[in-house]
């Protein structure tokens, strides 16, 4: 994998990905932030050596290099999921590339369902901690110790200093920002009523199908990481209605401007 990582990073450097500072992973239905990016270069995933290709129709599949608030950023427009048939090593490969390019701060967004019924769809949740329910670890492979510490500490996977900045920015803009625990499941099916009850008992405030693998690898590589969920539906097992994916995407689009406000101001401060 070390050889692959070096080849991929060298390819991107040759394409003009020059000393980026911050990495951003965009979640389902979350692409409006690109309207606020001074794009310098963009490359389709299927042109990047050893890169997976996004197969979900609302994930675009481009790696974008540009500037936000004067800072050089690399943005994943479209992420990879275990439910697409990828391994956890595939899913997290782009995080390793970001590190190889020189990025030390990773910002992640996702669309999630609200398990905590005090949280409402259209609101945001700052992830303080997570529960990995994807059945394995992106660090569970031979030779992982050559890429970073094998037994990665996860006592504080989300950077406290960055989280505090995010909270302050949200308060200054009167943006509702909950704090909570994100549970990551495999999917792609949505949860049953019994599964929602289980997640609540386990202490989850929101549930989704991403983010946790990338955060684990970011910590494994010594990167600072933070993540915000856009809550797109309310998961009340006692009043559960069939999920409409189009409505989830629409809700993500509606709530996204608040996330963009937070991310832009945060990048300015980093």
The DSSP letter of residue 49 is: T
Assigned token pair, 48: 């990047």
Find, among 75, 3, 84, 85, the residue nearest to 45 by Cα: 75
CB 163 within 8 A of CB 266: no
Residue 31 has a pLDDT of 79
Assigned token pair, 207: 């549930």
Q: Are strands 105-114 and 22-25 parallel, antiparallel or unpaired?
A: parallel
Cis geometry, peptide bond prior to residue 159 (ω within 30 degrees of 0): no
Place of tokens 């946790």: 212
The DSSP letter of residue 19 is: S
Report phi then psi at 143, rounded to 5: 90, 5
Residue 123 has a pLDDT of 95
Number of H helices, E strands in the chain: 6, 9
Residue 246 has a pLDDT of 85
Length of the chain: 270
Place of tokens 């932030």: 33
Residue 139 has a pLDDT of 97
Residue 4 has a pLDDT of 94
The DSSP letter of residue 66 is: E
Residue 243 has a pLDDT of 80
Assigned token pair, 24: 């951003």
| 45-54 burial code (b ≥16 CB/10 A, e <16) | beebeebbbb
Residue 57 has a pLDDT of 53
pLDDT digits (tens, 9 = 90+) for 50-91: 998 755 555 568 999 999 999 999 999 989 999 999 999 999
User: What are the average pLDDT values for consecutive 10-residue runs of the chain, which has 270 residues?
Assistant: 94 96 88 90 94 65 94 94 94 97 97 96 96 97 92 97 98 97 96 97 98 98 97 94 84 89 96
Enumerate residues 6+ apart whose C-beta is below 8 A from 74: 17, 20, 22, 23, 24, 63, 64, 65, 98, 101, 103
pLDDT digits (tens, 9 = 90+) for 135-167: 999 999 999 999 998 999 999 999 999 999 999
CA-based radius of gyration for the chain: 17
C-alpha triplet 38, 264, 173: angle, nearest 5°: 145
Residue 159 has a pLDDT of 98
Q: Are strands 71-77 and 22-25 parallel, antiparallel or unpaired?
A: parallel
Assigned token pair, 113: 């369902």
* Alpha helices (H) along the chain: 2-14, 88-101, 160-172, 193-202, 212-220, 245-269
Q: Distance between CA 34 and CA 142 in Å, rounded?
A: 37
Domains of the chain listed by start with CATH number: 2-269 (3.40.50.1580)
The DSSP letter of residue 3 is: H
Residue 55 has a pLDDT of 58
- Does the global pTM surpass 0.85? yes
Residue 1 has a pLDDT of 85
């Amino acid at each position: 994998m070390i050889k692959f990582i070096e080849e991929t990073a060298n390819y991107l450097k040759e394409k003009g990905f020059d000393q980026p500072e911050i990495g951003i992973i965009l979640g389902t239905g979350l692409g409006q932030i690109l309207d606020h990016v001074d794009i310098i270069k963009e490359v389709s995933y299927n042109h990047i050596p050893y890169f997976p290709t996004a197969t979900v129709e609302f994930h675009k599949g481009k790696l974008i290099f540009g500037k936000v608030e004067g800072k050089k950023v690399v943005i994943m427009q479209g992420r990879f999921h275990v439910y697409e048939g990828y391994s956890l090593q595939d899913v997290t490969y782009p995080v390793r590339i970001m590190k190889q390019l020189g990025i030390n701060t990773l910002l992640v967004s996702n669309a999630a369902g609200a398990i905590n019924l005090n949280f409402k769809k259209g609101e945001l949740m700052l992830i303080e901690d997570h529960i990995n329910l994807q059945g394995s670890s992106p660090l569970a492979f031979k030779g992982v110790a050559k890429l970073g510490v094998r037994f990665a500490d996860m006592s504080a996977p989300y950077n406290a200093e960055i989280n505090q900045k995010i909270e302050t920015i949200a308060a200054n803009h009167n943006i509702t920002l909950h704090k909570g625990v994100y549970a990551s499941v495999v999917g792609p099916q949505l949860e049953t009523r019994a599964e929602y009850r289980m997640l609540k008992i386990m202490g989850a405030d929101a549930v989704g199908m991403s983010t946790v693998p990338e955060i684990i690898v970011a910590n494994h590589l010594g990167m600072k990481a933070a993540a915000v969920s856009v809550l797109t539906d309310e998961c009340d097992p006692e009043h559960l209605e069939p999920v409409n994916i189009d409505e989830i995407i629409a809700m993500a689009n509606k709530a996204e401007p608040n996330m963009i406000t937070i991310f832009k101001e945060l990048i300015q401060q980093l």
